[in-house]
Amino acid sequence: MKTIYADNASSTRIADEVINAMMPYLKDKFANPSSYHSAGREVRLAVEEARRQIASVIACDSDEIYFTSGGTESDNWAIKGAARLCAAKGKHVITSKIEHHAVLRSVKALEREGFEITYLETDEYGFISPESLEKAIRPDTVLVSVMFANNETGAIQPIEKLAKTAKKHGILFHTDAVQAFGHIPINVKELDIDLLSFSGHKFNGPKGIGGLYIKRGVSLPVLIDGGNQENGRRGGTENAPAAIGMGEAARLAAKDMALQKERLELLRDRLIGGLAEKIPECIINTPPRNALPGIVNVSIGVAEGEALVLMLDLKGIFASSGSACMSGSKDPSHVLTAMGRDEKTAHGAVRFSFDRYTSQEDIDTILAVFPETVNKIRSVTRL
């Protein structure tokens, strides 16, 4: 049975070019990049080239990129580090209700340290307004953290306006760009971002590697005590093969970004239009504008999203009912409930997400199989 992978917001396939870039450093070029001998220096040069490749995607300097184990670690470092760095000025942090749990649980940890957290509301499309941020800012606010694009609905936030609102008050601004990095243009200098998190496996790189952009002059506390790796801020031998792979994935993403964005937008719109036509009373949770090119979130309301996902699995289509990090949770999507969806609608959501390997044939197959699956469920529930 031919399978269709439509869960790329959870993880993407490693590109062949990335595997080829990594292989020498998994086999023959295995030296520690911190070693002084020529074998170590050769690996070090490759790691630093990867850092430059990644920096070029968001228009920053390579020494502002720090490698981590992934987006979750980057979010934890940025949020906890920035809050603690500025704690003498105040203990108020602002985020939103639709953040990834790596952010939400990081600010919960800060609450246990005595910080006060404000959670911004969204509109029905999942957007946060700069005006709501302005109203939430207090004299003791030290950090604002708002995601660049939502991992469940694809909504792209007005980051430039949000960041400039924070900076107007002298407040550090962090954005979780895990879903956006490599898929849409980002220029951290123009957007006035202080801290930005990303993860390799979201743009056809390997798992277990990510990074944090730290604007020059922002002195986050050391994350891991140890050696002098990552400019002394994160001790531990670098995961050189993964870093090099992520660098190659970043290069590929930058080279093809405009083409892939246009192609995926056409596929996304084809799927949305087909679902709206073939499934009466379905609710499209992905906003009609300012959304990532590769995410479609739809609520059916006749069955739980996880049940629909399992039924699709039997047909060879791999989708999801929300964020992979919350798989198994009985709670409805916190993102959809924040957008005002009722519990039934939030529970009945399915997310399809695409990447460079998704074809129009894949979309047409989903449009043939998914409405048929929904109709079968609806016919049973009417009995």
The residues annotated as belonging to the active site are 325
Q: Where are the alpha helices (DSSP H) in 142-290?
A: 159-168, 188-191, 240-278
Nearest to 104 by CA among 363, 377, 335, 341: 335
d(CA 204, CA 199): 10
DSSP 142-211: EEEE--SB-TTT-BBP-HHHHHHHHHHTT-EEEEE-TTTTTTS---HHHHT-SEEEEEGGGTTS-SS-EE
Do 11 and 201 form a contact (C-beta atoms < 8 A)? yes
Phi and psi at 225, nearest 5°, equal: -75, 140
| Residue 114 DSSP code | T
d(CA 204, CA 176): 18
Q: How many CB atoms lie within 10 A of CB 95?
A: 25
Do 132 and 161 form a contact (C-beta atoms < 8 A)? no
| Residue 62, both tokens | 């390579």
Q: Where are the alpha helices (DSSP H) in 4-90?
A: 16-26, 38-57, 71-85
d(CA 75, CA 72): 5
Number of H helices, E strands in the chain: 12, 12
d(CA 316, CA 298): 19
**Amino acid at position 96, single letter:** S
